[in-house]
Amino acid sequence: MNVGLKWLRDYVDFDLNAGELARRLTESLTETEVVESPSAAVAGVVAARVVTVEPHPDAEKLTVCVVDWGDGSGPVVCGAPNVRPNMITALAPPGATIAGGRAIGEQTIRGRRSHGMLVSGAELGLAGDAAGILDLEPSTTPGTDVREVLGLDEEVIDLDVQPNRPDCLGIIGVAREVAVAVGSQLRLPPIELREEGGDVAGMAAIELENVTDCPRYIARVVTGLTVGPSPAWLRSRLASVGVRSISNIVDVTNFVMLEYGHPIHAFDYDTLADARIVVRRARAGETLVTLDGVERKLDPSHLLICDGRGPIALAGVMGGGETEVGEGTTNVLLECAWFDPVVVRRGATSLGLRTDASHRFERGVDPDAMPGVAARACALMAELGGGTVARGSLDEGPGRAPERTVTLRLGKLRSMLAPGPPRDGVVAKLEALGFDVAFEGDDGDTLAVRVPSFRSDVTLEADLIEEVARTHGYDAVPPEVPFHPLTASTDTEHAGRNDVRETMIRLGFYEILTSSFMARKAAVDFAGFGLEGEPIELANPVNKETPLLRTSIVPAVLDVVRRNVNVGERDVRVFEIGKAFGRTGDGHSERWMLAGALTGAAERPSWGGAARDVDFFDGKGVLEVLAEALDVDSPESACYDGPILEGRSSARLLIGGRSVGRFGMLASDVAEEWDLPEAVFVFELDLAELGIGNGASRGFAGLSRYPKVRRDLALVVDDGTPAGDVTTEIEGAGEALLAGVEVFDVYRGKQLPAEKKSLGLTLTYMSMERTLTDDEVDAAQKRIVRRLVDRFGASLRE
């Protein structure tokens, strides 16, 4: 909401400049800024009278004028279509500056000397008005600075008016707040309405189909008007807040709306069929051409103003073209109405037509101010258009502001604002804001506060506390740092996810955060990953390419890999901890997932020779170390031959038989389709299934004071025998002294028969009680080897 300071001073006195006022209102009402005016650079432009207009001898579209600028006169070449003798316009003489900082000099145009130029409103930074040169009031004295004439010196502030304060969408409402902020008095405009015409009751009739949609409708009629330009004071008021001047009558409706915050509308009375106003819902299929020339298709959600024939305006949103006030208009029917906020909001939203009027009606207008608003507008129209106001008004509908008294307990106020202002200060602020305050009970500590009709937002004691708090100033509330007992409880899953993140960082992965939205193709391609079940569909996606909630994070992770490879990164190790979503029966589920990818070199590039590219075991190792660091059961891998992953080198991750996720090398056809490097390892785990953050600990098993003994074993087995089966067999052999087994070598080659491989194993033995002897270790090792020979047909390699 833009407010010109000069205009504001019509209603309240204050001794502050724009910056100071903006700061004060920011502290007491809402964020307020000083508006930088596009006219700020204008200097030296003066009012001037056009004396004669002659065609330019060498240019068809130009004229050569003799212009009188008060203390001199001279020729000016002009191209405006509206230039005419005797008009008062604006001259930018040599040395002047116009909007945008453009300096004007003496010039010669097509061979004729021009003493500067005649300027349009746009050239002075005013809204609109680029078509012709300025047409100033005939009474303006040539030579007067146009800054003064047009009010360009007006300082303007912009208030961020919140949805609960429609009263501040009018300058009077802002002036009331200024008065409270600076300790001054609000001055309401005088309304000098002379009703000298006939009785309005004989001139028009109003019919409300439904008083819920339109609780109150006031109409007045003004006759014998002459539509013409507005006087300078009105144009400069409107210009100061960026509203274009149209005509005296239309300008009055805008002026009064900006003054009171209540939108009003003027119809050309003579175009109204049967002189009737009907407020009703649109019928399916009805149309209306609005003032902006667009034909609007209507349905029963739209509220209309109709005449005896059909729709003439979209109630509370925009008027229609047919009944618009124009040059030939002499009689006007003025509408001042109260429309239901929700109906206006839905209608305006469905048509994509948010206007100054709908903005205000949506937030609620003051029904009790309506008679005054209508009278003010008619008085101004009669004054500026030379018309006669008909006697009385048509006033339909029962809508009035509800009487509302809210109790304010000063004890409550003080407990919240501690210490809070004294009682007299509370009462004074509330009264200055327009509330009536009475005392309830005997203790003088309970106030009965009557809420004025323009403050429909105040319904609870808390609302009154806010009024006191903000006008009193939040600076006055002393900050307290209370002592709170520390909370013991912590979200263990949240903490568990933090552990996962820390571990991945330590493993050299960058954390990424990607979109929760997913493309349809990705959902199909990556159906094997993430959550089971159908993806959830957005009703109104912001990007039509990604209309689904992601069932898996993997597609987004691969997008990140590609993006980085495309800008020249070779080694990409990234992960995300985020939510995936899926449909489950009638409902939906969302689960925390860990997804990631690695590609490029297996080790960080160094001078010791190029490292090999990552393979399946680099990725698998990451997941194993993750499990180790998180102290969850070491996962088992199972073969996974679903889509996307290369069947030979991909697996399902199982813990205790439950599937926790998938991992493996991306299938080459997928890598190609996604424009990814050849070797990319991807993984996705369900963090809840992983069992992180369950607080379980293995417990302390004690430390042995005796040394470990190692024995290596080279075991020849069939090539198809999984190493995991061999180590499981060894661990399950029931040898009490065996502390661990590691695979240190896998060999196939010419020293071995075909279809055979050699596994190099290190077995570790340890006792908690004593130093082991070679004999007992050899015996245990022998028993294990025998077991392996029996189970796998293994032999020891010589």
Question: Binding to another protein (CB under 8 A): which residues in 564-593?
Answer: 564, 567, 569, 572-574, 579, 581, 586, 588, 590
Distance (Å, whole) CA 45 – CA 321:
37
Comparing CB distances to another protein, the nearer of 495 and 743 is: 495
Q: Which of 7, 28, 213, 741: binder of another protein (CB under 8 A)? A: 28
Contact 217, 407 (CB under 8 A): no
Span near another protein by CB under 8 A; candidates 29-37, 64-72, 308-316, 437-445: 29-37
Handedness of CA 764, 770, 775, 779 (dihedral sign): negative
Rule CB under 8 A: is residue 447 a binding residue for another protein? no
Torsion of CA 353, 358, 360, 365, to 10 degrees: -170
Structure tokens at 753: 């028969």
Contact 438, 448 (CB under 8 A): yes
Rule CB under 8 A: is residue 501 a binding residue for another protein? yes
Look at the block and give the residue holding tokens 């679903």. 642
Q: Which of 510, 674, 747, 792: binder of another protein (CB under 8 A)? A: 510
Comparing CB distances to another protein, the nearer of 415 and 771 is: 415
Q: How far apart are the first and last CA of the chain?
A: 92
Contact 707, 685 (CB under 8 A): no
Q: Which of 463, 499, 646, 689: binder of another protein (CB under 8 A)? A: 463
Rule CB under 8 A: is residue 484 a binding residue for another protein? yes
CB of 549 to another protein, least distance (A): 7
Comparing CB distances to another protein, the nearer of 330 and 589 is: 589
Span near another protein by CB under 8 A; candidates 93-101, 201-209, 316-324, 605-613: 605-613
Pairing of strands 112-114, 107-109: antiparallel
Distance (Å, whole) CA 624 – CA 683:
12
CB of 33 to another protein, least distance (A): 7
CA neighbor of 504 nearest in space, from 575, 603, 597: 575
Rule CB under 8 A: is residue 506 a binding residue for another protein? yes
DSSP state of 737: T
Rule CB under 8 A: is residue 93 a binding residue for another protein? no
Burial grade of 12 (CB within 10 A; 0-12, 13-18, 19 or more): buried
CB of 541 to another protein, least distance (A): 7
Comparing CB distances to another protein, the nearer of 112 and 583 is: 583
Structure tokens at 263: 């939108």
Rule CB under 8 A: is residue 545 a binding residue for another protein? no
Judged by CB under 8 A, the chain residues 685 through 724 that form the site for another protein are none
Judged by CB under 8 A, the chain residues 606 through 665 that form the site for another protein are 606-608
Rule CB under 8 A: is residue 365 a binding residue for another protein? no
Q: Which of 145, 209, 286, 466: binder of another protein (CB under 8 A)? A: 466
Rule CB under 8 A: is residue 511 a binding residue for another protein? yes
| DSSP string for 89-132 | EEEE-TT-EEGGGEEP--EEETTEEESSEE-BSGGGT-SS--SS
Rule CB under 8 A: is residue 41 a binding residue for another protein? no
SS3 labels along 332-384: EEEEEEECCHHHHHHHHHHHCCCCHHHHHHHHCCCHHHHHHHHHHHHHHHHHH
- Helices 370-385 and 248-260 pack at an angle, to 10 degrees, of 150
Judged by CB under 8 A, the chain residues 105 through 164 that form the site for another protein are 162-164
Span near another protein by CB under 8 A; candidates 385-393, 395-403, 474-482, 691-699: 474-482
CB of 488 to another protein, least distance (A): 8
Q: Which of 6, 10, 13, 27: binder of another protein (CB under 8 A)? A: 27
CB of 363 to another protein, least distance (A): 5
Span near another protein by CB under 8 A; candidates 190-198, 270-278, 409-417, 704-712: 409-417
Rule CB under 8 A: is residue 504 a binding residue for another protein? yes
Judged by CB under 8 A, the chain residues 514 through 543 that form the site for another protein are 514-517, 536-542
Torsion of CA 297, 302, 303, 308, to 10 degrees: 30
Rule CB under 8 A: is residue 465 a binding residue for another protein? yes
Count of residues touching another protein (by CB under 8 A)? 88
Span near another protein by CB under 8 A; candidates 233-241, 368-376, 510-518, 786-794: 510-518
CB of 466 to another protein, least distance (A): 3
CB of 507 to another protein, least distance (A): 7
Distance (Å, whole) CA 67 – CA 90:
10
Structure tokens at 357: 């009027």
